[in-house]
Amino acid sequence: MGALLLSELKKINSQLIKEVRGRGLFVGIEIEKGAGIAVNANHLSGKFLKHGILTKSAREQTLRLTPPLIITEAQVMQVVEVAQEAIGDIERLNYDIMIGFRQDSSP
């Protein structure tokens, strides 16, 4: 199931995702850092939680997924769907934050 989870998460196309890596069911999603990026792994973790999936930020920019060893294929696909929604949510959040910064900094 770990290979399926990793391969499906790697298919998610987002400019906020720097890398998806892991071994077995221990998977990390790393968020880009730098200009134009105002969100971090804590933001993504909160979005996963709103969808009922517990995660942990391993570092400021890395989210850790550690599902139970008895996870089924259907549950893996559910996690992937939630990941797509959560990443979409933080893309919108990042945009909103960056627009807010630009509006605040304009004369």
User: How far is the C-alpha of 36 from the C-alpha of 50, rounded, in Å?
Assistant: 25
What is the structure's pLDDT at 99? 84
What is the structure's pLDDT at 22? 96
| Confidence band, pLDDT 50/70/90 cuts, at residue 107 | very low
What is the structure's pLDDT at 18? 96
User: How far is the C-alpha of 69 from the C-alpha of 2, rounded, in Å?
Assistant: 9
pLDDT at position 97 over 90: no
What is the structure's pLDDT at 31? 95
Q: How far is CA 19 from CA 10, 87, 103, in A?
A: 8, 13, 31
What is the structure's pLDDT at 100? 79
What is the structure's pLDDT at 12? 96
Convert the pLDDT of each residue in 22-81 to its tens digit. 999 999 999 999 888 999 999 999 999 999 999 999 989 999 999 999 999 999 999 999
